[in-house]
């Protein structure tokens, strides 16, 4: 049996039902060779239709985020906020923070891309590049090292807070993106850009600590020279 295409009047009625009620998604049409079949009348393309579910997926991910993630955010915000004002830092404290942040960023790369050689290489290259660049910049003129107390006097800065938030939100956004679109880990731009971003954060942290240690070494040499004189 051959099925004819509905008239324009019937099409308008069907579109009205589409907007207000559960609706038809196909109409009969005559295919090649006169074989009766159906044809979609849903105006939404498949990609747009699937995208309507993404806000629901995102909401579910946010609602099921473990509470310890928010605890980590509060801790990092507190640690970074302490750097906004001038303070004194010991040698050990200067070293611990870059090591911890480098470990967190490295874990972000491994958790997203596993032991991918390309991702790990991208992380390392970006870190080394930023270390070299930041080491060329001088310390703020107000930075001092007290050799007797083995402490630094540093001015307040927002850089540590921004770096910590950068690592945290990169880790979170990448995790959410991969949960919604697992195929992203195979895209070249994503697989190279994310590790490079993590590496840049780690490199800046490491270089800032290295500059302080370099100041301590220079101050210790000057004190030793003065005592010898």
Domain coordinates of the chain in residue numbers? 8-43, 51-221
The three-state secondary structure class of 115 is coil
- The pLDDT of residue 56: 73
Q: Which residue has the tokens 């190279």?
A: 192
| Alpha helices by DSSP H, 44-83 | 46-51, 54-63, 67-82
Indicate if the pLDDT at residue 204 is higher than 90: yes
- Per mean pLDDT, which range of 47-51, 58-62, 168-172, 195-199 is the poorest? 47-51
Work out the average pLDDT over 162-178. Answer: 93
Q: Kindly report the backbone phi and psi dihedral angles of residue 35, in degrees, each rounded to the nearest multiple of 5, phi listed first.
A: -80, 125
pLDDT, tens digit, for every residue of 88-145? 988 888 888 889 999 999 999 999 998 889 999 999 999 999 999 999 999 988 899 9
Share of the chain above pLDDT 90, in %: 47
- The pLDDT of residue 51: 55
- The pLDDT of residue 62: 74
Work out the average pLDDT over 169-194. Answer: 91
Q: pLDDT confidence of 12, banded at 50, 70, 90?
A: low
The three-state secondary structure class of 38 is strand
Query: Where are the strands (E) in the chain, listed by range?
Result: 26-30, 36-40, 87-90, 144-146, 151-154
Q: pLDDT confidence of 53, banded at 50, 70, 90?
A: low
Which has the higher per-residue pLDDT, 46 or 82? 82
Q: pLDDT confidence of 206, banded at 50, 70, 90?
A: very high
pTM comes to: 0.70
Which has the higher per-residue pLDDT, 2 or 174? 174
């Amino acid at each position: 049996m051959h099925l004819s295409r509905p008239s324009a009047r019937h099409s308008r009625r069907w579109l009205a039902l589409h907007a207000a009620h559960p609706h038809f998604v196909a109409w009969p049409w005559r295919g090649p060779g006169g074989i009766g079949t159906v044809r979609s009348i849903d105006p939404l393309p498949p990609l747009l239709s699937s995208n309507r579910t993404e806000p629901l997926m995102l909401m579910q991910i946010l609602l099921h985020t473990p509470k310890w993630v928010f605890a980590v955010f509060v801790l990092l915000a507190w640690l970074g906020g302490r750097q906004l004002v001038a303070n004194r830092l010991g040698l050990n404290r200067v070293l611990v923070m870059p090591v911890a942040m480098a470990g967190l960023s490295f874990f972000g790369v491994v958790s997203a891309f596993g032991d991918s050689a390309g991702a790990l290489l991208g992380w390392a290259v970006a870190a080394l590049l930023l270390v070299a660049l930041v080491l060329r910049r001088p310390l703020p003129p107000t930075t001092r090292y007290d050799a007797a107390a083995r402490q630094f006097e540093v001015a307040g800065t927002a850089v540590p807070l921004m770096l910590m938030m950068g690592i945290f939100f990169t880790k979170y956004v990448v995790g959410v993106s991969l949960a919604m679109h697992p195929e992203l880990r195979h895209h070249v731009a994503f697989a190279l850009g994310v590790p490079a971003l993590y590496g840049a954060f780690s490199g800046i942290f490491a270089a800032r600590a290295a500059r302080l240690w370099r100041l301590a070494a220079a101050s210790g040499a000057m004190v030793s020279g003065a005592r010898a004189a």
